[in-house]
Structure 1
């Protein structure tokens, strides 16, 4: 009996170590990239993100640098980002400005539309793969509804912020701060594109090497 009990304790200790290790790995995978200003560094650090970004590109036709630039602006790549809490009189919490949440800062209603149209019922706004697929879906619809190129980060972002109807009505013209932010997203998208062009071959070859030979 003592031997059996000792064996059981060792087995439980091993299980506990595995669970702890998985928790640490999960925490690392959801942490923001160390160098968010460089798309090559992001994808070299987070290879699973690159796999998801390429899958999004193949599925929706949106170049990877556009949603990545938009996502950086929306959440700084934080998986659980959300708008700040609003307060009455500076101390009474009254809720958040919107239901935006996760990597893509998707609002609940828009996310529900995405789930319904794609059938991705197990998706989560805190999952990078789902979040970037959502952004691919949104940019594709923006192209269909408002004729905005999937390569046009500025106007894609204005649609993302104002909605397709708001963009059509030109609501952003009354929001100079938003126009400025859209310009920032556009410039970051162009920097990301230039960076990606320099490392795409290496990223693809190293990914294929790991797939078949690792």
Structure 2
């Protein structure tokens, strides 16, 4: 391997790290999130148009799941001091597990999708919430019910496994409250976000 190829191989992982989008500075405000990352808004709009899920619902769920950290993962399990693997296979913005992500890729044909890519993660959540609506009849606007399905799975929700988890019911209410907050905030900035770059250049 010549010197150029060696440099390229060594620098490639660093370039990936450099391209990773950091978490938003103010995740409590969806307007600030989208003004900081306008491509996230574009991806969220596409998700809404494709799956019919309002933007504020998966965004509130994503905040709860990963705090918008692209490579978020569950804690490592240890045997004494020896790491033996993650608690689960959940990974990325949406904390999607391997099997569910595989189902998403197979059903949508989005085979090149990555869980640490926001565009793919938000589309995955749109797909999941749409299926939750079809399978368990939960409204796409119902952040509380959608999050319970997201955490317990469609079968678990049908069996009402969440009733044995008071902490989960509390978290789901928190997600619902944040979703309502996001919805109110988004109404105040959506017109600006939808405006053209030229309008923003001269009037903001």
- Give the alignment's TM-score, normalised by structure 1: 0.84
- Are 2:24 and 1:26 aligned? no
How far is 1:94 from its partner? 2.0
CA distance in 2, matches of 1:71, 1:206: 27
- Are 2:125 and 1:135 aligned? yes
Return 5+ residue gaps in structure 2 as ranges: 1-11
CA distance in 1, matches of 2:99, 2:52: 24
Q: 1:123 aligns with which of 95, 113, 129?
A: 113
Root mean square deviation, CA, Å: 2.0
Q: Deviations over 1:136-185 (max 9, x none)?
A: 00000000000000000001000000000000000000000111000100
User: Partner of 1:84 in structure 2?
Assistant: 75
Q: 2:158 aligns with which of 159, 162, 168?
A: 168
How far is 1:88 from its partner? 2.7
CA distance in 2, matches of 1:59, 1:152: 18
CA distance in 2, matches of 1:117, 1:209: 39
Structure 1 segments, 4+ long, off by >3 Å, are 22-25, 206-210
What does 1:1-214 correspond to in 2, within 5 Å?
26-27=19-20, 30-89=21-80, 91-206=81-196, 209=199
How far is 1:95 from its partner? 1.3
Q: Deviations over 1:24-59 (max 9, x none)?
A: 8623xx110000000000000000000000000000
Return 5+ residue gaps in structure 1 as ranges: 1-18
Q: Deviations over 1:49-77 (max 9, x none)?
A: 00000000000000000000000000000
Q: Which of 1 and 2 has greater Rg?
A: 1
What SS does the corresponding residue of 2:195 show, helix, strand or coil? helix
**Cα pair distance change 1:25/1:82, threshold 3 Å:** closer
User: Partner of 1:9 in structure 2?
Assistant: none
How far is 1:86 from its partner? 1.3
- How many residues align? The count is 189
**Cα pair distance change 1:200/1:158, threshold 3 Å:** same
CA distance in 1, matches of 2:101, 2:182: 26
What SS does the corresponding residue of 1:98 show, helix, strand or coil? coil
CA distance in 2, matches of 1:53, 1:208: 21
What SS does the corresponding residue of 1:95 show, helix, strand or coil? strand
What SS does the corresponding residue of 2:32 show, helix, strand or coil? helix
